[in-house]
Structure 1
Amino acid sequence: MSGHGSGPPSWAQLGKLGLLSALPCFVFGFLDNSIMLVAGDAIESSLGAKLGLSGLACAALGNVVADTTGSSAPPPAARLPACLPPTCLPAQQQMRAARLTTASAGAVGIIIGCLVGCFPLLFIEGDGAEGKPEAA
Protein backbone atom coordinates (compact mmCIF):
# COMPACT_ATOMS: atom_id res chain seq x y z
CA MET A 1 0.00 0.00 0.00
CA SER A 2 1.38 3.43 -0.87
CA GLY A 3 0.37 5.08 2.42
CA HIS A 4 -1.06 8.11 0.64
CA GLY A 5 -4.66 6.88 0.61
CA SER A 6 -7.02 6.41 3.48
CA GLY A 7 -5.44 3.07 4.47
CA PRO A 8 -3.20 2.71 7.48
CA PRO A 9 -0.14 4.98 7.57
CA SER A 10 3.07 3.50 6.15
CA TRP A 11 6.21 2.97 8.22
CA ALA A 12 7.75 6.01 6.53
CA GLN A 13 4.76 8.15 7.47
CA LEU A 14 4.88 6.91 11.05
CA GLY A 15 8.61 7.62 11.19
CA LYS A 16 8.08 11.21 10.07
CA LEU A 17 5.14 11.59 12.44
CA GLY A 18 7.30 10.29 15.28
CA LEU A 19 10.08 12.72 14.48
CA LEU A 20 7.66 15.65 14.29
CA SER A 21 6.18 14.58 17.63
CA ALA A 22 9.53 14.01 19.35
CA LEU A 23 11.33 17.19 18.29
CA PRO A 24 9.26 19.78 20.19
CA CYS A 25 9.21 17.50 23.24
CA PHE A 26 12.99 17.11 23.07
CA VAL A 27 13.46 20.89 22.89
CA PHE A 28 11.07 21.42 25.80
CA GLY A 29 12.79 18.80 27.97
CA PHE A 30 16.24 20.15 27.13
CA LEU A 31 15.36 23.77 27.86
CA ASP A 32 13.27 22.98 30.93
CA ASN A 33 15.97 20.89 32.60
CA SER A 34 18.90 23.10 31.69
CA ILE A 35 17.16 26.32 32.76
CA MET A 36 15.95 24.67 35.97
CA LEU A 37 19.48 23.55 36.86
CA VAL A 38 21.09 26.90 36.12
CA ALA A 39 18.35 28.90 37.85
CA GLY A 40 18.26 26.53 40.84
CA ASP A 41 22.03 26.79 41.25
CA ALA A 42 21.87 30.60 41.03
CA ILE A 43 19.06 30.69 43.60
CA GLU A 44 20.96 28.34 45.89
CA SER A 45 24.17 30.36 45.73
CA SER A 46 22.46 33.75 46.13
CA LEU A 47 19.39 33.21 48.32
CA GLY A 48 19.59 29.63 49.53
CA ALA A 49 21.91 30.18 52.47
CA LYS A 50 20.43 33.58 53.36
CA LEU A 51 16.90 32.19 53.56
CA GLY A 52 17.86 28.73 54.82
CA LEU A 53 16.51 26.97 51.72
CA SER A 54 17.35 23.35 51.02
CA GLY A 55 18.87 22.29 47.73
CA LEU A 56 15.53 20.77 46.72
CA ALA A 57 13.69 24.01 47.53
CA CYS A 58 16.15 25.90 45.33
CA ALA A 59 15.63 23.33 42.56
CA ALA A 60 11.87 23.76 42.89
CA LEU A 61 12.22 27.53 42.57
CA GLY A 62 14.51 26.98 39.57
CA ASN A 63 11.75 24.86 38.06
CA VAL A 64 9.33 27.77 38.52
CA VAL A 65 11.75 29.95 36.54
CA ALA A 66 12.15 27.29 33.84
CA ASP A 67 8.43 26.65 33.49
CA THR A 68 7.64 30.36 33.41
CA THR A 69 10.31 30.92 30.77
CA GLY A 70 9.07 27.99 28.71
CA SER A 71 5.44 29.04 28.84
CA SER A 72 6.09 32.67 27.95
CA ALA A 73 8.49 32.02 25.07
CA PRO A 74 7.79 28.75 23.26
CA PRO A 75 10.78 27.55 21.25
CA PRO A 76 10.64 27.66 17.45
CA ALA A 77 10.64 23.85 17.39
CA ALA A 78 7.20 23.89 19.01
CA ARG A 79 5.89 25.58 15.88
CA LEU A 80 7.78 23.24 13.53
CA PRO A 81 5.00 20.66 13.05
CA ALA A 82 2.60 23.42 11.98
CA CYS A 83 5.10 24.62 9.36
CA LEU A 84 5.67 21.25 7.72
CA PRO A 85 3.22 19.35 5.54
CA PRO A 86 1.35 16.65 7.43
CA THR A 87 2.78 13.17 7.13
CA CYS A 88 -0.63 11.51 7.37
CA LEU A 89 -4.12 12.33 6.27
CA PRO A 90 -6.50 13.44 9.04
CA ALA A 91 -8.21 10.03 8.98
CA GLN A 92 -4.83 8.29 9.31
CA GLN A 93 -3.86 10.53 12.23
CA GLN A 94 -6.86 9.17 14.15
CA MET A 95 -5.75 5.57 13.68
CA ARG A 96 -4.28 3.68 16.62
CA ALA A 97 -0.80 3.35 15.06
CA ALA A 98 -0.53 7.11 14.52
CA ARG A 99 -1.79 7.93 18.03
CA LEU A 100 0.64 5.47 19.62
CA THR A 101 3.49 6.82 17.52
CA THR A 102 2.70 10.41 18.52
CA ALA A 103 2.43 9.58 22.22
CA SER A 104 5.48 7.32 22.44
CA ALA A 105 7.70 9.59 20.32
CA GLY A 106 6.72 12.56 22.47
CA ALA A 107 7.61 10.65 25.63
CA VAL A 108 10.95 9.50 24.20
CA GLY A 109 11.68 13.05 22.99
CA ILE A 110 11.09 14.58 26.40
CA ILE A 111 13.12 11.88 28.19
CA ILE A 112 16.11 12.36 25.89
CA GLY A 113 15.72 16.15 26.04
CA CYS A 114 15.70 16.10 29.85
CA LEU A 115 18.76 13.86 29.97
CA VAL A 116 20.70 16.03 27.50
CA GLY A 117 19.43 19.10 29.41
CA CYS A 118 21.44 17.90 32.42
CA PHE A 119 24.60 19.24 30.76
CA PRO A 120 24.82 22.26 33.13
CA LEU A 121 25.77 19.77 35.84
CA LEU A 122 29.14 19.53 34.12
CA PHE A 123 29.77 23.19 34.92
CA ILE A 124 28.06 23.67 38.28
CA GLU A 125 30.61 23.63 41.05
CA GLY A 126 29.95 21.56 44.13
CA ASP A 127 31.85 19.22 46.33
CA GLY A 128 29.99 16.25 44.79
CA ALA A 129 31.00 14.11 47.79
CA GLU A 130 27.97 14.59 50.00
CA GLY A 131 26.81 11.26 51.34
CA LYS A 132 29.43 9.28 49.40
CA PRO A 133 31.84 7.02 51.28
CA GLU A 134 35.51 7.72 50.72
CA ALA A 135 37.38 5.37 48.42
CA ALA A 136 39.74 2.98 50.21
Structure 2
Amino acid sequence: MLEGQLAASRWRSKFGRPSKLPRLGDVDPTGAYCPFPEDWLQKKFAESVPKPTSRDLVSIGVANSIPFIGFGFLDNFFMLIFGDYIDLYLGSYFCLTTMGAAALGNTLSDIMGIGSAFYVERLANRIGFTPPKLSPIQLDMSCSRNSANAGRVLGVTLGCLLGMCPLLFKKGKDEENEEKVEQMIAEIN
Protein backbone atom coordinates (compact mmCIF):
# COMPACT_ATOMS: atom_id res chain seq x y z
CA MET A 1 0.00 0.00 0.00
CA LEU A 2 2.76 2.49 0.88
CA GLU A 3 4.67 1.79 -2.34
CA GLY A 4 1.54 2.54 -4.38
CA GLN A 5 1.16 5.93 -2.72
CA LEU A 6 4.83 6.83 -3.27
CA ALA A 7 4.70 5.78 -6.89
CA ALA A 8 1.44 7.68 -7.42
CA SER A 9 2.95 10.90 -6.10
CA ARG A 10 6.15 10.49 -8.14
CA TRP A 11 4.88 9.26 -11.50
CA ARG A 12 2.19 11.61 -12.71
CA SER A 13 2.86 11.87 -16.41
CA LYS A 14 0.81 9.69 -18.75
CA PHE A 15 4.13 8.82 -20.47
CA GLY A 16 5.63 7.53 -17.22
CA ARG A 17 8.04 10.42 -16.77
CA PRO A 18 8.72 11.74 -13.28
CA SER A 19 6.90 14.96 -12.59
CA LYS A 20 9.70 16.30 -10.42
CA LEU A 21 13.27 15.21 -10.92
CA PRO A 22 15.21 14.91 -7.69
CA ARG A 23 17.77 17.63 -7.01
CA LEU A 24 21.09 17.34 -5.28
CA GLY A 25 20.54 16.17 -1.70
CA ASP A 26 16.81 15.49 -2.13
CA VAL A 27 15.43 12.28 -0.75
CA ASP A 28 13.55 10.31 -3.35
CA PRO A 29 10.31 8.47 -2.40
CA THR A 30 12.15 5.21 -1.81
CA GLY A 31 14.21 6.87 0.93
CA ALA A 32 17.56 6.97 -0.88
CA TYR A 33 19.57 10.13 -1.46
CA CYS A 34 20.08 11.54 -4.92
CA PRO A 35 23.71 10.88 -5.95
CA PHE A 36 26.16 13.70 -6.62
CA PRO A 37 26.64 14.48 -10.29
CA GLU A 38 30.14 13.64 -11.49
CA ASP A 39 31.17 17.21 -12.30
CA TRP A 40 29.37 18.94 -9.42
CA LEU A 41 32.51 19.47 -7.35
CA GLN A 42 34.45 20.75 -10.35
CA LYS A 43 31.65 23.22 -11.21
CA LYS A 44 31.58 24.46 -7.62
CA PHE A 45 35.36 24.96 -7.68
CA ALA A 46 35.17 26.70 -11.08
CA GLU A 47 32.83 29.33 -9.62
CA SER A 48 35.57 30.45 -7.24
CA VAL A 49 38.37 30.56 -9.86
CA PRO A 50 38.98 34.09 -11.19
CA LYS A 51 38.69 34.77 -14.91
CA PRO A 52 41.97 35.27 -16.81
CA THR A 53 43.14 38.86 -17.09
CA SER A 54 43.09 40.72 -20.40
CA ARG A 55 46.84 40.32 -20.61
CA ASP A 56 46.47 36.55 -20.20
CA LEU A 57 43.81 36.45 -22.91
CA VAL A 58 46.06 38.38 -25.32
CA SER A 59 48.90 36.03 -24.47
CA ILE A 60 46.66 33.02 -25.17
CA GLY A 61 45.70 34.53 -28.53
CA VAL A 62 49.31 35.26 -29.52
CA ALA A 63 50.54 31.84 -28.39
CA ASN A 64 47.83 30.19 -30.51
CA SER A 65 48.36 32.42 -33.54
CA ILE A 66 52.10 31.83 -34.07
CA PRO A 67 51.87 28.12 -35.03
CA PHE A 68 48.94 28.92 -37.31
CA ILE A 69 50.91 31.65 -39.07
CA GLY A 70 53.49 28.98 -39.89
CA PHE A 71 50.85 26.49 -40.95
CA GLY A 72 48.99 29.00 -43.15
CA PHE A 73 52.24 30.11 -44.78
CA LEU A 74 53.39 26.57 -45.54
CA ASP A 75 49.94 25.50 -46.72
CA ASN A 76 49.49 28.34 -49.22
CA PHE A 77 53.14 28.37 -50.28
CA PHE A 78 53.25 24.68 -51.14
CA MET A 79 49.76 24.72 -52.65
CA LEU A 80 50.80 27.41 -55.11
CA ILE A 81 54.10 25.71 -55.95
CA PHE A 82 52.62 22.20 -56.30
CA GLY A 83 49.50 23.38 -58.12
CA ASP A 84 51.56 25.36 -60.62
CA TYR A 85 53.89 22.45 -61.38
CA ILE A 86 51.05 19.95 -61.58
CA ASP A 87 49.21 22.25 -63.99
CA LEU A 88 52.35 22.87 -66.03
CA TYR A 89 53.74 19.34 -66.26
CA LEU A 90 50.91 16.91 -65.54
CA GLY A 91 47.89 18.98 -66.56
CA SER A 92 48.15 18.30 -70.28
CA TYR A 93 49.36 14.73 -69.81
CA PHE A 94 46.40 13.70 -67.62
CA CYS A 95 43.94 16.23 -69.10
CA LEU A 96 43.57 18.05 -65.78
CA THR A 97 41.87 21.39 -65.54
CA THR A 98 43.53 24.20 -63.65
CA MET A 99 41.10 23.64 -60.77
CA GLY A 100 41.96 19.94 -60.73
CA ALA A 101 45.64 20.78 -60.56
CA ALA A 102 44.91 23.25 -57.75
CA ALA A 103 42.98 20.55 -55.86
CA LEU A 104 45.87 18.10 -56.19
CA GLY A 105 48.28 20.84 -55.14
CA ASN A 106 46.11 21.52 -52.10
CA THR A 107 46.10 17.81 -51.23
CA LEU A 108 49.90 17.63 -51.35
CA SER A 109 50.11 20.90 -49.43
CA ASP A 110 47.84 19.56 -46.68
CA ILE A 111 50.02 16.46 -46.41
CA MET A 112 53.07 18.71 -46.02
CA GLY A 113 51.18 20.86 -43.48
CA ILE A 114 50.26 17.89 -41.32
CA GLY A 115 53.83 16.63 -41.46
CA SER A 116 55.28 20.00 -40.51
CA ALA A 117 52.72 21.04 -37.85
CA PHE A 118 54.71 19.47 -35.02
CA TYR A 119 57.91 21.25 -36.06
CA VAL A 120 56.17 24.62 -36.46
CA GLU A 121 54.68 24.35 -32.96
CA ARG A 122 58.02 23.27 -31.51
CA LEU A 123 59.78 26.20 -33.18
CA ALA A 124 57.17 28.62 -31.82
CA ASN A 125 57.70 27.24 -28.30
CA ARG A 126 61.48 27.54 -28.65
CA ILE A 127 61.17 31.15 -29.75
CA GLY A 128 59.19 31.80 -26.59
CA PHE A 129 55.57 31.93 -27.64
CA THR A 130 54.03 29.80 -24.93
CA PRO A 131 50.59 30.20 -23.37
CA PRO A 132 50.39 31.77 -19.91
CA LYS A 133 50.43 29.57 -16.82
CA LEU A 134 46.73 29.20 -16.16
CA SER A 135 44.79 26.43 -14.48
CA PRO A 136 42.92 23.92 -16.66
CA ILE A 137 39.65 25.46 -15.46
CA GLN A 138 40.77 28.93 -16.58
CA LEU A 139 41.90 27.56 -19.94
CA ASP A 140 38.51 25.88 -20.37
CA MET A 141 36.55 29.11 -19.75
CA SER A 142 34.70 30.48 -22.74
CA CYS A 143 36.73 33.71 -22.76
CA SER A 144 39.96 31.69 -23.00
CA ARG A 145 38.60 29.46 -25.74
CA ASN A 146 37.36 32.48 -27.69
CA SER A 147 40.74 34.16 -27.36
CA ALA A 148 42.53 31.02 -28.55
CA ASN A 149 40.20 30.64 -31.53
CA ALA A 150 40.56 34.32 -32.47
CA GLY A 151 44.34 33.93 -32.35
CA ARG A 152 44.15 30.85 -34.59
CA VAL A 153 41.92 32.62 -37.12
CA LEU A 154 44.15 35.68 -37.24
CA GLY A 155 47.27 33.51 -37.42
CA VAL A 156 46.10 31.32 -40.29
CA THR A 157 44.79 34.38 -42.18
CA LEU A 158 48.11 36.19 -41.87
CA GLY A 159 50.02 33.00 -42.70
CA CYS A 160 47.94 32.38 -45.82
CA LEU A 161 48.47 35.95 -47.00
CA LEU A 162 52.22 35.62 -46.45
CA GLY A 163 52.17 32.22 -48.17
CA MET A 164 51.01 33.88 -51.37
CA CYS A 165 54.56 35.15 -51.96
CA PRO A 166 55.23 32.71 -54.86
CA LEU A 167 52.74 34.78 -56.86
CA LEU A 168 55.18 37.70 -56.72
CA PHE A 169 57.76 35.69 -58.66
CA LYS A 170 55.41 34.00 -61.13
CA LYS A 171 55.41 35.28 -64.66
CA GLY A 172 52.13 36.33 -66.14
CA LYS A 173 50.60 34.75 -69.24
CA ASP A 174 51.56 37.78 -71.35
CA GLU A 175 55.21 37.53 -70.34
CA GLU A 176 55.26 33.80 -71.09
CA ASN A 177 53.68 34.37 -74.51
CA GLU A 178 56.21 37.11 -75.31
CA GLU A 179 59.08 34.78 -74.37
CA LYS A 180 57.68 32.03 -76.60
CA VAL A 181 57.36 34.47 -79.52
CA GLU A 182 60.93 35.69 -78.96
CA GLN A 183 62.19 32.08 -78.90
CA MET A 184 60.36 31.29 -82.11
CA ILE A 185 61.83 34.38 -83.79
CA ALA A 186 65.29 33.43 -82.56
CA GLU A 187 64.88 29.91 -83.96
CA ILE A 188 63.76 31.25 -87.34
CA ASN A 189 66.76 33.59 -87.63
Higher relative contact order (CA 8 A, sep 6+): 1
1:93 to 119, 139, 146: 139
Q: TM-score, normalised by structure 1?
A: 0.81
Task: Name the structure 2 match of 1:73.
Answer: 116
**Alignment-derived partner of residue 66 in structure 2:** 23
CA contact (8 A) 2:139 2:145 kept: yes
SS of aligned partner of 1:77: helix
Q: After TM superposition, what 4+ stretches of structure 1 lie above 6 angstroms from structure 2?
A: none
When Rg is computed on C-alpha atoms for both structures, the one with the higher figure is 2
Given that residues 16 and 87 in structure 1 are in contact (C-alpha distance below 8 angstroms), is that contact kept between their aligned partners in structure 2? no
Instruction: Give the alignment's TM-score, normalised by structure 2.
Output: 0.60
8 Å contact from structure 2 (residues 59, 131) kept in 1? no
Q: 1:72 to 1:119 in 2, by over 3 A?
A: same
Task: Tell me the C-alpha RMSD between the 2 structures.
Answer: 2.4
Residue identity over aligned pairs, in percent, reads: 34
In the other structure, the counterpart of 1:132 is none
CA deviation string 1:1-56 (max 9, x = no partner): xxxx9311111111111001111111111100000000110111111122221111
- 1:111 and 2:157 matched: yes
Structure 1 unmatched ranges of 5 or more:
129-136
* Correspondence for 1:7 among 12, 30, 50: 50
**In the alignment, is the contact (CA less than 8 A) between 2:56 and 2:132 conserved in 1?**
no
- Alpha-carbon distance in 1 for matches of 2:131, 2:95: 52
Deviation at 1:75, TM superposition (A): 4.9
Gaps of at least 5 residues in structure 2 are: 1-47, 175-189
User: Residues of 2 paired with 1:26 and 1:33: CA distance?
Assistant: 11
